[in-house]
């Protein structure tokens, strides 16, 4: 299977590498943080060209959802951001790394920035406070993306091969990139478990571009 799988991927797979804004040195991420932890500084926001690409935690960045980038907070941490100039607030989940500009403490998605009227100015003076997971927040599901294909029939064939060996697998079309079909393997409850599955798939199939992604429980 390893040889056949590698040949198919070499012929039709699209780039699946996680995006990186810059090659910079970041402090090590915090292992844990308690609600009430806070920082004060400058917030910025980011949208294109990162929209539709994998964020640092592996999920696909959607700039119209309430998410954000922070240099060290653990992924899936929720924070409430207070705009100190207009008293507006927004709650976001950390999925990415950044900002990469000195003095800035958080990069908000387009939707989050819009919620506190930050789109025009581009930056805002804010206080961010770590909070508990909001009631009703989507339950995370993690999987491993092993390829993305223009031909759905090929994607389905790879899905069946993956399902035979690794369990649940699905084919999904990105709303922002119609006509490209992702093959996602696994149905894990943590990023660590998805990364273990990713390593196994890489070792057994030779597909080095496989990467873990976060999905919502509805997907």
Sequence ranges of the chain with CATH classification 3.30.70.1070:
2-17+138-216
- The pLDDT value recorded for residue 219 is 55
CATH of 2-17+138-216, one of 3.30.70.1070, 3.10.20.30, 3.90.1310.10, 2.60.120.620: 3.30.70.1070
- What pLDDT is recorded for position 15? 31
pLDDT of residue 13: 38
pLDDT of 25 reads 67
Rounded to two decimals, the pTM is 0.70
Q: CB neighbours of 107 closer than 8 A, spacing ≥ 6?
A: 43, 44, 45, 46, 68, 69, 70, 96, 98, 99
User: Is residue 36 within 8 Å of 48, Cβ to Cβ?
Assistant: no
Domain with CATH 2.40.40.10 in the chain: 38-131
The secondary structure of residue 63, as a DSSP letter, is: T
What pLDDT was estimated at residue 176? Answer: 62
Cis omega (within 30 of 0) for bond into 99:
yes
Mean pLDDT of residues grouped by 10 in the chain (219 residues)? 47 35 68 94 95 84 94 95 97 95 94 96 97 87 92 96 95 81 93 92 92 72
CB 92 within 8 A of CB 109: yes
The whole-angstrom separation of Cα 141 and Cα 128 is 26
Please report the beta strands in 34-118, taking only residues with DSSP state E, as ranges in sequence order. Answer: 38-45, 67-69, 78-83, 89-96, 104-108
Location of structure tokens 């100190």: 84
Instruction: Return the CATH number of 38-131, one of 1.10.4010.10, 2.60.40.10, 2.40.40.10, 3.90.1300.10.
Output: 2.40.40.10
- 61 alpha-carbon distance from chain centroid: 5
- State residue 123 phi and psi, 5-degree precision: -140, 165
């Amino acid at each position: 299977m390893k040889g056949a799988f590698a040949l198919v991927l070499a012929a039709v797979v699209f780039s699946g590498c996680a995006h990186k804004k810059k090659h910079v040195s970041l402090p090590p991420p915090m292992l844990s943080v308690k609600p009430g932890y806070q920082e004060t500084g400058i917030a910025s926001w980011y949208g294109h060209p990162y929209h539709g690409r994998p964020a640092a935690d592996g999920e696909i960045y959607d700039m119209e959802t309430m998410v954000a980038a922070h240099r060290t907070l653990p992924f899936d941490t929720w924070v409430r951001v207070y705009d100190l100039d207009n008293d507006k607030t927004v709650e976001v989940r950390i999925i990415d790394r950044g900002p990469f500009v000195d003095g800035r403490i958080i990069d908000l998605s387009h939707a989050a920035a819009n919620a506190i009227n930050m789109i025009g100015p581009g930056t805002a003076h804010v206080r961010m406070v770590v909070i508990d997971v909001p009631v009703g927040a989507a339950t995370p599901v993690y999987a491993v993306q092993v390829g993305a294909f223009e031909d759905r029939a090929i994607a389905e064939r790879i899905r069946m091969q993956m399902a035979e060996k690794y369990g649940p697998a699905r084919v999904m079309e990105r709303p922002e990139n119609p006509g490209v079909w992702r093959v996602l393997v696994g149905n894990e409850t943590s990023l660590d478990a998805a990364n273990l599955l990713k390593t196994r798939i890489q070792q057994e199939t030779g597909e080095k571009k496989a990467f873990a992604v976060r999905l919502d429980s509805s997907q």
